[in-house]
């Protein structure tokens, strides 16, 4: 049973189940009868029978199909320029490649992505579809390969071992550019929230315990930097896959490719794809080495790990709403329980977590497949390709959902944030330069045992006047991240500004207070000596 052509993105004509028109194709192993209307041929049909493995077919990776067609188009143009392919056939192949790139033949790419043979089945599938479409363009029946052959003409000057990995690299470039843009969009969304939350002071935490105050804006700003850094790391890693082994043919020696072909076909492929590609310095090395794929996978894993960490933070910060941290609110996008009315779960961060887990596991797959290469070829590029494509596509989709369905709708709970700072023992850390570590630890211990505010105990046990307490331990001061060296002319201004803001409580200093902890603490130490 062969997959029938169904209406795809470009509207390929369907073959009905009762269609009596067939064609006979033959290879070294024998003959197979195929529906006359299908674009693929005998080699594809054998692969479909041999590899019913994952159910993820070549057609499920459109970017890879486009990349394969670009490689075949570049090869046809180079072969014509070198006099190996006549203009009539070359033009038909180029036009067929345009149809493939436009998605008009997507449903004809039916081989499983996971396959034996180092990608040969995929190469046969693209060769046969292009050949039969080219025959159609020439006004000839599909399968009349004596006029235009999948291997003699479409695959001319090529091997699976150079065109397949080259197409993987082109497809990765196309997909990575999308992911990079999506990550930059996520970083921008976090920056927007960082600005929105810049005035909201909260408690920072280390090891899930109260640490010192910070702003919610600083927390979200850190997420923006983390995601933005990963976009840059992916951009750097993408430069490793601009070097291709096209023209090396079977093992990199260039057998059956004419002189000048590698440089010419690479130049043509660069023009078609819009990518800056170059011929590998050593084609033998480039044919067997998949280290660039390992690097890409590693950076994808890094991105997944950091995204997962951020999403775990979002789940924790929004936990509750009444029995958790409850510092932020995630958008409610669906009911959370079939038994607990009113429950809403953090489903968007959860799905990003799961994508991250998959990408991390995928990196192990790529690593093992890369290690398993032997001598002049790695036969496991199919699983490397499928794994990388899925990692990129899933990360891209997850980031898009995270931005539109979560980050953009996050709100804060300012009263709860303020109360958590006022009731925290972590602010005592700011007193250590003034009263010493031992005295500060005593205040923390008494506050823990008695439940009394640190500010009250600092006055009672540490000898700090309220004015000095506010100057040293106002959360807005503590959340400052760039202390400066105090200047003499600032001293008079310090005492004038260090007073409570009207209506904001003792822990929130006036807006005019200098916001540099280094200055405040130095002045506090000077005052304590008098």
**Residue 265: inside a domain, yes or no?**
yes
Query: How many domains would you assign to the chain?
Result: 3
Give the pLDDT score at 468. 56
Nearest to 291 by CA among 356, 254, 245: 245
Which parts of the chain sit beneath pLDDT 70? 1-20, 462-530
**Residue 349: inside a domain, yes or no?**
yes
Task: State whether 192 and 148 are in the same domain.
Answer: no
**Residue 258: inside a domain, yes or no?**
yes
Give the pLDDT score at 520. 41
**Residue 7: inside a domain, yes or no?**
no
Task: State whether 144 and 242 are in the same domain.
Answer: no
Task: State whether 363 and 393 are in the same domain.
Answer: yes
Task: State whether 36 and 124 are in the same domain.
Answer: yes
103 phi/psi in degrees, rounded to 5: 85, 10
Give the pLDDT score at 447. 85
Give the pLDDT score at 426. 79
At which of 364, 389, 414 does a domain end? 414
Give the pLDDT score at 10. 36
CATH value at residue 476:
1.10.40.30
Give the pLDDT score at 100. 97
Give the pLDDT score at 467. 54
CATH value at residue 387:
1.20.200.10
Task: State whether 382 and 287 are in the same domain.
Answer: yes
At which of 130, 156, 182 does a domain end? 156
Q: Do the Cβ atoms of 309 and 317 come closer than 8 Å? A: no
Catalytic residues: 337
**Residue 518: inside a domain, yes or no?**
no
Q: What is the pLDDT of residues 119-161, one digit of tens each?
A: 999 999 999 999 999 999 999 999 999 999 999 999 999 999 9
Task: State whether 214 and 291 are in the same domain.
Answer: yes
CB atoms within 10 A of CB 389: 21
CATH value at residue 127:
1.10.275.10
278 phi/psi in degrees, rounded to 5: -140, 155
44 phi/psi in degrees, rounded to 5: -65, -45
**Residue 516: inside a domain, yes or no?**
no
Task: State whether 292 and 231 are in the same domain.
Answer: yes
Q: Do the Cβ atoms of 41 and 143 come closer than 8 Å? A: yes
Task: State whether 212 and 353 are in the same domain.
Answer: yes
Tell me the C-alpha distance between 462 and 480, whole Å: 24
Residue 481 sits in which domain range? 425-486
Task: State whether 183 and 146 are in the same domain.
Answer: no
Task: State whether 132 and 269 are in the same domain.
Answer: no
**200, 441, 443, 490, 496 from 524: Cα distances, Å:** 25, 19, 18, 13, 14
At which of 365, 386, 414 does a domain end? 414
Task: State whether 308 and 257 are in the same domain.
Answer: yes
CB atoms within 10 A of CB 31: 10
**Residue 172: inside a domain, yes or no?**
yes
Tell me the C-alpha distance between 157 and 171, whole Å: 21
Q: Do the Cβ atoms of 246 and 156 come closer than 8 Å? A: no
Task: State whether 115 and 189 are in the same domain.
Answer: no
| Cβ-based burial of 292 (10 A; exposed 0-12, middle 13-18, buried ≥19) | buried
Tell me the C-alpha distance between 11 and 18, whole Å: 20
**Residue 509: inside a domain, yes or no?**
no
């Amino acid at each position: 049973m062969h997959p029938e052509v169904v209406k795809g993105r470009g509207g390929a004509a369907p073959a009905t189940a009762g269609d009596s028109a067939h064609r006979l194709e033959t290879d070294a192993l024998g003959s197979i009868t195929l529906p006359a209307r299908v674009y693929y041929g005998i080699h594809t049909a054998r692969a479909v029978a041999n590899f019913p493995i994952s159910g993820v077919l070549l057609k499920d990776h459109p970017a890879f199909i486009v990349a394969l067609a670009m490689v075949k188009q570049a090869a046809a143009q180079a072969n014509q320029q070198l006099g190996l392919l006549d203009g009539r056939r070359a033009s038909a192949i180029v036009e067929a490649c345009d149809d493939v790139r436009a998605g008009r033949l997507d449903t004809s790419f039916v081989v499983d992505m996971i396959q034996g043979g180092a990608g040969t089945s995929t190469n046969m599938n693209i060769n046969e579809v292009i050949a039969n479409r080219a025959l159609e363009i020439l006004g000839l029946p599909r399968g009349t390969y004596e006029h235009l052959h999948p291997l003699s003409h479409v695959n001319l000057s090529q091997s699976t071992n150079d065109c397949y990995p080259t197409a993987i690299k082109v497809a990765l470039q196309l997909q990575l550019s999308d992911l990079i843009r999506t990550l930059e969009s996520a970083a921008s969304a976090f920056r927007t929230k960082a600005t929105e939350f810049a005035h909201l002071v909260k408690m920072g935490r280390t090891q899930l315990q109260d640490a010192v105050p910070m702003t919610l804006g600083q927390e979200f700003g850190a997420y923006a930097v983390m995601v933005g850094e990963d976009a840059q790391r992916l951009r750097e890693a993408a430069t490793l896959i601009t070097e291709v082994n096209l023209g090396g043919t079977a093992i990199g020696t260039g057998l059956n490719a004419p002189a000048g072909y590698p440089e010419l076909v690479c130049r043509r492929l660069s023009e078609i794809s819009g990518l800056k590609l170059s011929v590998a310095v050593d084609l033998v090395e480039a044919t067997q080495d998949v280290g660039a794929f390992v690097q890409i996978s590693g950076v994808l894993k890094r991105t997944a790990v950091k995204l997962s960490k951020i999403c775990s933070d979002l789940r924790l910060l929004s936990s509750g709403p009444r029995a958790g941290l409850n510092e932020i609110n995630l958008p409610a996008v669906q009911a959370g329980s079939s038994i607990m009315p009113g429950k809403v779960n953090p489903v968007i961060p959860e799905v990003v977590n799961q994508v991250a887990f998959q990408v991390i596991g995928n990196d192990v797959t790529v690593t093992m497949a890369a290690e398993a290469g032997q001598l002049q070829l790695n036969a496991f590029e199919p699983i490397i390709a499928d794994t990388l494509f899925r990692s990129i596509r899933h990360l891209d989709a997850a980031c898009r959902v995270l931005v539109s369905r979560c980050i953009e709708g996050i709100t804060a709970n300012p009263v709860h944030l303020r109360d958590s700072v006022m009731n925290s023992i972590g602010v005592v850390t700011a007193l250590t330069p003034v009263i010493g570590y031992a005295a500060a630890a005593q205040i923390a211990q008494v506050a823990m045992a008695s439940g009394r505010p640190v500010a009250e105990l600092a006055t009672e046990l540490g000898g700090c006047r309220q004015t000095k307490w506010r100057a040293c331990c106002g959360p807005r001061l503590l959340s400052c991240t760039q202390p400066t060296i105090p200047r003499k002319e600032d001293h008079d201004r310090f005492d004038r500004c260090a007073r409570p803001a009207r209506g904001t409580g003792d822990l929130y200093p006036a807006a005019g207070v200098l916001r540099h902890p280094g200055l405040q603490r130095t002045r506090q130490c000077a005052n304590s000596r008098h």
